[in-house]
Amino acid sequence: MKIINNNKSKSKSKVKVIPLGGLGEIGKNITAFEYEDEIVIIDCGLAFPDEDLYGIDLIIPDVTYLVRNKDKVKGFFITHGHEDHIGGLPYVLKQINAPIYGTKLTLGLIESKLQEHNILNDCTLNMVNAGDIIELGNLKVEFIRTNHSIADSCSIALHTPVGVIVHTGDFKIDFTPIGGETMDMQRYAQLGKRGVLLLMADSTNALHEGYTMSEKTVGEALENLFTKADGRVIVATFASNIHRVQQIANASIKNGRKIAFSGRSMEKISEVAISLGYLFIPKEMIIDLNKIKDYSNERVTIITTGSQGEPMAALTRIASGTHRSIQIENGDMVIISASPIPGNQKAVSSVINDLTQKGANVIYGAIEDIHVSGHACQQELRLIHALLKPKFFIPVHGEYKHLINHAKIAEDMGMDKSNIFILETGDVFELARKKAQVAGKVQSGRVLIDGMGVGDVGNIVLSDRKKLAEDGIITVVIVIDRENKTIISGPNIVTRGFVYVRDSEELIRDIRRIVVKSVERCLDNNVTEWSEIKNSIRREVDNFVYTKMKRRPMVLPIITEI
Amino acid sequence: MKIINNNKSKSKSKVKVIPLGGLGEIGKNITAFEYEDEIVIIDCGLAFPDEDLYGIDLIIPDVTYLVRNKDKVKGFFITHGHEDHIGGLPYVLKQINAPIYGTKLTLGLIESKLQEHNILNDCTLNMVNAGDIIELGNLKVEFIRTNHSIADSCSIALHTPVGVIVHTGDFKIDFTPIGGETMDMQRYAQLGKRGVLLLMADSTNALHEGYTMSEKTVGEALENLFTKADGRVIVATFASNIHRVQQIANASIKNGRKIAFSGRSMEKISEVAISLGYLFIPKEMIIDLNKIKDYSNERVTIITTGSQGEPMAALTRIASGTHRSIQIENGDMVIISASPIPGNQKAVSSVINDLTQKGANVIYGAIEDIHVSGHACQQELRLIHALLKPKFFIPVHGEYKHLINHAKIAEDMGMDKSNIFILETGDVFELARKKAQVAGKVQSGRVLIDGMGVGDVGNIVLSDRKKLAEDGIITVVIVIDRENKTIISGPNIVTRGFVYVRDSEELIRDIRRIVVKSVERCLDNNVTEWSEIKNSIRREVDNFVYTKMKRRPMVLPIITEI
């Protein structure tokens, strides 16, 4: 009887699924699952800013809704250790101090992040293994092993009173993975057989037919290259791609090369991975970067950051000749074992050009297959849908074009269109046993992190930066004796970032003349509001400069009254 | 006897080949060929700025060397009408007024450009046909038909006393071109048979195996799509790709659709192309963009600019919902018939997402093959080398990675490595009958165009803009009575583009306090140089703000003395 009662009471409440990031974008993944007085959060990532966000360092999700309901939050359940899944934690944990659950490597990476932010001691980290089920109140969270471009990745099955929700996390299906097992498809099948109410699945590669190649194929390509190399081999890849690093290390050891790590995150993550037993390199094969000169070139491999051409990363500094301990020599082979993320193509291209020009033999995507994606392509997505046969489906982790294509894949496999939901960040998706719908909206969006400031860069600041970036600034300083209605000193014209013209002195003189006229006219007309005088200066200088130069620098009048 | 004499005297002088742009970059192509007192210039293009060139509109080559030798310049010989080959002309012609030679369409596009700059009447435009040879003094310039993504493109064979130089211009080999003939390979073979001293060839696609597909294949793909469309069809492509526009028009007419042009350059170039007979569309099939509402959706095609996601282009405005006369409706098919140029991927992606979200069915590269390149791939490059069998070779039109790969292709075909030269912009390449070498360097580089200013944006202005873009500005205004060593008014602190912090009032108060202290200390110590007082303010405010905010806004002290 108790069970029946229980079931009855359960069926009255609905599960709310609230994505607060990761939809319509690739980045800052975070989704809340709410049932009565329990909230479970899957992932808590950051996003990197586009160029139009001048001066912004990174973006985290707006978690106002969670802060308001923080007493309900039972924990953060993290699928894997990539920045777009863990990077928001240090900021969000300061507002919502709930325990974090994740596998060993994932927690290792989170730990070093919390340490940097000096909040590790205030946080609770709970280690789980793939296969574990964490029982909260009504909700149970199950971790299921997957494959991805970082070790120890998991899907999550959320067992709720209305049914099972499967969130794939980022995944691919690798039948020959490095240092691990294939995704637990048997558990997927079992869940599918019993009935899955909702699937939320990775859409990153939903535009790509076929399936993603195994990580192992990269190892084979790398070994081929290593046997051909007779100078140093410098390989750039993502520091977090530990399986890749393992394969680079294997190829090195096979060819009698010592291994040096270059770049802060490469040093840090490889250290964490070795200490936790995810990366196996005999101690005697690792050398300090400062010691590479002690070995002949054909005995050295350098594994480095900078595969995306990031301005301050090690490979970029090697390419520009500004690296402290690595200068390119003739015979060096540089392997860029990563694809450029959209937006980084130009930067990567310029690194390749610089390295080639300095004499390196640069191997990259256009030349050899030395990278595979960490995300499932269409055929793998179909397999997941076939195993789980969910009643409802929400494509996640993608821009709109990815989501809509993933939805089409599900539809083509026979799913009812009305059971597929393309959500937006902030949507409240209400899920019952037989019905699902978007039933509201909560506050959501992006919080911009700029230096030490969190979330205080408003649109005005950003649009000011844009204007300053494009046309610079003209500052007009003037000292006025308001009583006597006279200009005591100035106008003093100072420009920065404004195009210098051959006859700039004349231009400045003209601006000064225009300001004087403008102010005198105001004073003569008994304009008493400084803001009006400033507007008049701004308008007239702006007009004049635009007519003369076809430019609109920011005009900043500053009036001092004596 | 005369001929022999002639030959003798000729063999004494060398031909100088001086690239002033287009090497180590894709953009601002221009090369000078100098023989005794004659200079021939091939192409005169512009480049578009990277994002780090804040506020710069475009870049033209530094032609100081040509200006110094302008009496020698016999003419500009233009291979085709793309911006990176003609865009520098309006600026360079103001300094070097030599005649321009080109085919009809190329001149048509140059003409409208010179008209915009109000210098058409001062310029001499000489129309040529493919096959024409222009005899100057010792130099003869021959135009040879090629295929490219713009009609009326040519290679140039420069006949000099030391031998023949072939400059391919931008080309591909299209065996089924639209509205024209296949590249004149018979002439290439003939020149090769007689002996080519130097080849300079397009390297854009030197990293791509195989050959570039025919423009005709795009027409077939477009026709397939048009038959499936039941709403409007909106096709974005490069305005200058007249063959593409022709094929879009053909598919439209076949399906009973009227054609409207959208976007300034699309309207302008299609008008030029129709009037010169390069684009054939029955007059009654063209409608004004404002009239599209008069026709049912399945009777309308819109051909538009914006295939690169350019912020102000028509397609971008359609996507963001800010276009004056086109709003996306359900059932609209949008075809992006172009590949994103490196650097534009993110912008294009966001246009695709916006259009999809508004209900359009967006067809783009990742989904269908609706674009082909205008540049030759490796197999075509090999063919050209085989036909011409040049003694010397300079790969051109490419970044360093393209040039080096093109060099490898030539080497693999058996060319002597010492006869292949990878040049840099500004190199003076001296060419004799049997010998060639880099023999010097002339001034070269980039001239930045910013609004009406030409070449007057220096590094200081750019680095100021960068600083302003990232961290904004803090202006400190202070009025000092130097005689009495007192601050009369201020400091007045005004910030722009500077992060607002929650406690910004306190921060500003702190800055004010620091400035007062700093100035008073200077005055007390009898510092009399304004610049020293300013430095002191700058240093202390900078330190304080960095400690507090981890930011370094520009600090601009302005002191007024009374």
Q: Does B556 touch chain A (CB under 8 A)?
A: yes
Residues A264 and A356 in one domain: yes
Q: Is A3 exposed, middle or buried (0-12, 13-18, 19+ CB in 10 A)?
A: exposed
Considering CB atoms only, which of A54, A354, A562 is closest to B470? A54
Active-site residue list of A: 202, 375
- Name which of B116, B377, B477 to mutate to probe chain A: the one with the most chain A Cβ atoms within 10 A of its Cβ: B477
Q: Are residues A205 and A311 in the same domain?
A: no
Shortest alpha-carbon distance between residue B377 and chain A (Å):
13
A417 burial type by CB count under 10 A (0-12 exposed, 13-18 middle, 19+ buried): exposed
The distance of A494 to chain B (nearest Cα, Å) reads 8
Question: Rounded to an integer, what distance in angstroms lies between the CA atom of residue A500 and that of residue A480?
Answer: 29
Chain B CB contacts of A452 under 8 Å are 548-551
The per-residue pLDDT for B234 is 97
pLDDT for position B2: 32
Residue B48 pLDDT: 87
Residue-level pLDDT at B149: 93
If asked whether residues A34 and A149 sit together in one domain, one would say yes
Q: In terms of CA atoms, which chain A residue is nearest residue B487?
A: A562
Which of A454, A474, A505 represents a domain boundary (last residue)?
A454
Burial B221-240 (b: 16+ CB within 10 A, else e): bbbebbeebebbbbbbbbbb
In a domain, B4, yes or no: no
CA distances (Å), origin B473, targets A209, A543, B493, B542, B551:
49, 23, 10, 11, 11
Distances, alpha carbon A355 to alpha carbons A321, A331, A552, B390, in Å: 9, 11, 39, 29
Neighbours of A309 (CB within 10 A): 23
Q: Which residue pairs from B127-133 have beta carbons closer than 8 angstroms and sit at least 24 positions apart in sequence?
A: B127/B102, B127/B103, B128/B101, B128/B102, B128/B103, B129/B103, B129/B104, B130/B103, B130/B154, B130/B184, B131/B184, B131/B187, B133/B159
* Nearest chain A Cα distance for residue B346, angstroms: 6
Question: Are the Cβ atoms of B404 and A356 closer than 8 angstroms?
Answer: yes
Point out the residue among B208, B400, B452 whose CB comes nearest to the CB of A356: B400
Give the mean model confidence (pLDDT) for residues B387-411.
96
Q: Which chain B residue's Cα is nearest to A560?
A: B489
pLDDT tens, position by position, A209-253: 999 999 999 999 999 999 999 999 999 999 999 999 999 999 999
How far apart are the C-alpha atoms of A218 and A368, rounded to whole Å?
10
Coil vs helix vs strand at A140: strand
A357 touching B, CB under 8 A?
yes
Q: Which pLDDT value is given to residue A135?
A: 96
Highest mean pLDDT among A449-463, B72-86, B532-546 belongs to B72-86
B182 and B224 co-located in one domain: no
Which band of pLDDT confidence, cut at 50, 70 and 90, is reported for residue A275? very high
Interface list for A 188-247 with B (CB within 8 A): 207-208
Look at residue A71 in the predicted model and tell me its pLDDT: 96
Helix ranges (H only) for A22-103 are: 64-68, 83-86, 89-93
Q: What is the mean pLDDT of residues B60-75?
A: 96
B311 touches chain A (CB under 8 A): no
CA distances from B173 to B131, B151, B211, B381, B492 (A): 17, 13, 8, 9, 67
**Cβ–Cβ under 8 Å, residues A266 and A305:** yes
- Residue A128's pLDDT is 97
Q: Which of residues 371-430 of A touch B (CB under 8 A)?
A: 399-401, 404
Q: For chain B, give me the number of helices (H) and strands (E)?
A: 16, 25
Q: Are A38 and A63 in contact (CB under 8 A)?
A: no
How many Å lie between the alpha carbon of B117 and the closest alpha carbon of chain A? 14
Binding site residue list of A for substrate: 239-241, 371-375
Do A51 and A26 share a structural domain? yes
Task: Please give the Cα distance from B152 to B162 (Å, whole number).
Answer: 29
**Inter-chain residue contact B352 with A54, CB threshold 8 Å:** no
Task: Answer whether the bond into residue B491 is a cis peptide, omega within 30°.
Answer: yes
* pLDDT computed for residue B500 by the predictor: 60
Distance separating alpha carbons of residues A67 and A65, to the nearest angstrom: 5
Within-domain flag for A1: no
Q: Domain containing B524 — which CATH number?
A: 3.10.20.580
Quick check: B157 and B142 in contact, CB under 8 A? Answer: yes
pLDDT at B50: 80
B57 in a known ligand binding site: yes
A494 contacts on B by Cβ (under 8 Å): 556, 558
Dist CA B503 CA B483 (whole Å): 37
pLDDT band at A521 (very low <50, low <70, confident <90, very high): confident
In a domain, A344, yes or no: yes
Residue B31 contacts residue B156 (beta carbons within 8 Å): no
User: Which of A203, A482, A499, A501 best tests the B interface by mutation, with the highest count of B CBs <10 A?
Assistant: A499
| A25 three-class SS | strand
Is the same domain home to A106 and A224? no
Q: Chain A within 8 Å of B277 (Cβ-Cβ)? A: no
Question: Where does the pLDDT of residue A499 fall: very low under 50, low under 70, confident under 90, or very high at 90 and above?
Answer: low
Categorize the per-residue pLDDT at A354 as very low, low, confident or very high, splitting at 50, 70 and 90. very high
In A, which residues are within 8 Å of B452 by CB distance? 548-551
The answer to whether A451 contacts B550, with C-beta atoms less than 8 Å apart, is yes
Q: Does the distance separating the beta carbons of B492 and A55 come in below 8 Å?
A: no
Residue B524 has pLDDT above 60, yes or no: yes
- Return the structure tokens found at A170: 């980022």
ipTM for the predicted complex: 0.77
- What is the tens place of the pLDDT at every residue in B273-308? 999 999 999 999 999 999 999 999 999 999 999 999
Mutant choice from B460, B465, B538 vs A, greatest count of A C-beta within 10 A: B465
The backbone region for B270, taken as left when phi is positive above 0, alpha when psi lies in -120 to 50, beta otherwise, is: alpha
A396 and A530 together in one domain: no
For residues B276 and A8, give the distance between their C-alpha atoms in angstroms, rounded to a whole number.
Answer: 79
pLDDT computed for residue A458 by the predictor: 66
Residue B85's identity, in one-letter code, is H
Q: Note whether A177 and A119 are same-domain residues.
A: yes
**8-state DSSP, A51:** T
For the segment A245-269, the average pLDDT, to the nearest whole number, is 95
* Residue A9, domain member (yes or no): no
- Position B6 in a domain: no
CATH number at residue A351: 3.40.50.10710
Burial class (CB in 10 A: 0-12, 13-18, 19+), B113: middle
Total-model pTM? 0.81
Residue B252 distance to chain A (closest CA, Å): 26
Q: Count contacts between A and B (CB, < 8 Å).
A: 199
Give me the residue from B451, B469, B499 closest to A451, CB to CB.
B499
The reply to whether B3 falls in a domain is: no
Chain A's closest residue to B205, CA to CA, is A366
CA-nearest of B404, B403, B413, B419 to B379 is B413
CA-based nearest distance B4→chain A, Å: 44
Range scoring the smallest mean pLDDT among B90-104, B298-312, B524-538: B524-538
The answer to whether A560 contacts B362, with C-beta atoms less than 8 Å apart, is no
The residue of chain A with its CA nearest to that of B208 is A366
| Shortest alpha-carbon distance between residue B556 and chain A (Å) | 9
Residues in chain B with CB shorter than 8 Å from the CB of A475 are 475, 556, 558
Determine which one of B167, B208, B323, B375 is catalytic. Answer: B375
Q: Which residues of B touch A404 (CB under 8 A)?
A: 356
Of A417, A459, A426, nearest to A444 by C-alpha is: A426
A172 inside domain: yes
Lowest mean pLDDT among A197-211, A483-497, B85-99: A483-497
The answer to whether the Cβ–Cβ distance between B345 and A349 falls below 8 Å is: no
Task: Count Cβ atoms within 10 A of the Cβ of residue A456 and give its class: 0-12 exposed, 13-18 middle, 19 or more buried.
Answer: middle
Instruction: For residues A46 and A26, give the distance between their C-alpha atoms in angstroms, rounded to a whole number.
Output: 10
Q: What is the pLDDT of residues A94-128, one digit of tens each?
A: 999 999 999 999 999 999 889 988 899 999 999 99
Residue showing tokens 């777009």: A84
CA B244 to chain centroid: 20
According to the model, what pLDDT value does residue A519 have? 86
State phi, psi for B502 to the nearest 5 degrees.
-55, -40
* Same-domain status, B446 and B465: no
Q: Which residues in chain A touch residue B456, judged by CB atoms under 8 angstroms apart?
A: 499-502
Q: What is the pLDDT of residues A372-427, one digit of tens each?
A: 999 999 999 999 999 999 999 999 999 999 999 999 999 999 999 999 999 999 99
CB pair distance less than 8 Å for B452 and A561: no
**pLDDT value, residue B455:** 54
Of A412-416, B34-38, B321-325, which range is least confident? B321-325
**B197: distance to nearest CA of chain A, Å?**
26
- Chain-centroid distance of CA A213 in Å reads 24
Residue B309 pLDDT > 80, yes or no? yes
Mean pLDDT of chain A: 90
The strand pairing partners of B398, in sequence order, are B23, B25
Q: What is the pLDDT of residue A3?
A: 34
Number of structural domains found in chain B: 3
Residues B185 and B94 in one domain: yes
**Residue B159 marked in a binding site:** no
pLDDT in tens, A543-561: 898 888 778 888 988 888 7
Residues 56-85 of A with CB under 8 A from B: none
**List of chain A residues whose C-beta atoms are within 8 Å of the C-beta of residue B457:** 499-500
A368: in domain: no
| Distance separating alpha carbons of residues B454 and B516, to the nearest angstrom | 42
Mark yes or no for CB contact A353/B452 under 8 Å. Answer: no
Q: Which residue has the higher pLDDT, A282 or B451?
A: A282
Rounded Cα–Cα distance for residues B38 and B140 (Å): 11
Q: CB under 8 Å to B222, separation ≥6 — which residues?
A: B235, B247, B248, B251, B335, B337, B370
Same domain, B219 and B168: no
pLDDT at site A4: 34
Q: Do B479 and A562 touch (CB under 8 A)?
A: yes
Tell me whether residues B452 and A494 touch, CB distance under 8 A: no
Judged by CB atoms closer than 8 Å, whether chains meet at A502 and B456 is answered as: yes
- Of the pLDDT bands very low, low, confident and very high (cuts 50, 70, 90), residue A1 is very low
Task: For B49-76, give the DSSP string.
Answer: PPTTSTT--EEEE--HHHHHTGGGEEEE
Q: How many angstroms separate the first and last alpha carbons of chain A?
A: 86
Task: Lay out the sheet containing A233-236: strands in order across.
Answer: A258-262, A300-304, A233-236, A333-336, A361-363
Residue A145 to residue A179: CA distance in whole angstroms: 13
How would you class A90 by CB atoms within 10 Å of its CB: exposed for 0-12, middle for 13-18, buried for 19 or more?
Answer: buried
CATH code for the domain in which residue A141 is found:
3.60.15.10
Look-up of token digits 């063209």 = B286
Q: Nearest CA to CA, how far is A114 from chain B (Å)?
A: 19
pLDDT tops 70 at residue B362: yes
Average pLDDT, integer, range B98-110:
96
The answer to whether A360 contacts chain B (CB < 8 Å) is no
Report how far residue B177's alpha carbon sits from residue B152's, in angstroms, rounded to the nearest whole number. 12
> By residue range, what is the domain housing residue B556?
459-561
Both B265 and B405 in one domain: the answer is no
Distance separating alpha carbons of residues B541 and B262, to the nearest angstrom: 52
CA B206/CA B404 separation, integer angstroms: 9
Mean pLDDT score of chain B = 90
> Cα Rg for chain B, rounded, in angstroms?
29
Q: For residue A32, what pLDDT is reported?
A: 98
Of chain B residues 526-555, which have a CB less than 8 A from chain A? Answer: 548-551, 554
* Nearest residue in chain A measured CA to CA from B552: A451
Within 8 A of A352 by CB-CB distance, chain B residues are 401
Instruction: Decide which of B340, B363, B386 is a domain's last residue.
Output: B363
* Residue contact B468–A466, C-beta within 8 A: no
| Separation CA B289–CA A273 (nearest Å) | 61
Does the structure show a pLDDT above 50 at B9? Answer: no
- What's the Cα-to-Cα distance from B389 to each of A131, A259, B199, B214, B381, rounded to whole Å? 66, 46, 9, 25, 12
Show which of B400, B422, B450 is a domain's final residue: B450
